[in-house]
């Protein structure tokens, strides 16, 4: 990786003045090394307007995609930071299971009580 404080890509002032946005995109491209950057800077004066626009679109698309990936990664890391630990999640699950089991026990007890009342009513009718 090159040291950004010591640029090895030479950009003539005329090219920087004529294509400032494109030069910034070339210098900022993460898919190129300095040799490739210098190549594109060097051939800019002989490129057609269509070729220049295509290069600009490609580099802008790369920049946008990397920005979207960074944003997604940042959001995922933020969510992980807010996330609960494995132990905490296990404790929460245990508490939910216990609560559900208690609710089931209460329901089953109520069912047994109703069943006993029905059996008692049947016995009284038969009796």
Look up the pTM and report it: 0.55
CA distance 43 to 8: 17
pLDDT of 2 reads 45
Do 57 and 24 meet the contact criterion of CB atoms below 8 Å apart?
no
Q: Which sign does the torsion angle of CA 110, 114, 119, 121 carry?
A: positive
Q: Model confidence over 51-92: pLDDT tens digits?
A: 999 999 999 999 999 898 888 888 777 766 666 666 777 788
Selected residue with higher pLDDT from 81 and 98:
98
Find the helix packing angle between 34-43 and 20-28, rounded to 10°.
160
pLDDT of 114 reads 86
pLDDT of 6 reads 52
Say what percent of the chain tops pLDDT 90: 43
pLDDT of 3 reads 47
pLDDT of 1 reads 46
Selected residue with higher pLDDT from 11 and 88:
11
Q: Average pLDDT for residues 89-99, to the nearest whole number? A: 81
Strongest mean pLDDT among 32-36, 72-76, 102-106, 117-121: 32-36
């Amino acid at each position: 990786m090159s040291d950004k404080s010591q640029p090895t890509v030479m950009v003539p002032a005329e090219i920087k003045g004529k294509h400032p946005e494109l030069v910034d995109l070339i210098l900022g491209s993460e898919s190129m090394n300095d040799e490739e950057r210098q190549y594109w800077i060097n051939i800019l004066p002989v490129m057609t307007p269509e070729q220049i626009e295509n290069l600009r679109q490609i580099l802008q698309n790369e920049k946008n995609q990397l920005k979207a990936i960074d944003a997604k990664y940042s959001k995922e890391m933020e969510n992980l930071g807010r996330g609960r630990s494995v132990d905490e999640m296990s404790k929460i699950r245990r508490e939910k299971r216990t609560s559900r089991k208690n609710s089931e026990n209460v329901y089953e007890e109520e069912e047994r009580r109703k069943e006993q009342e029905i059996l008692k009513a049947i016995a009284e009718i038969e009796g």
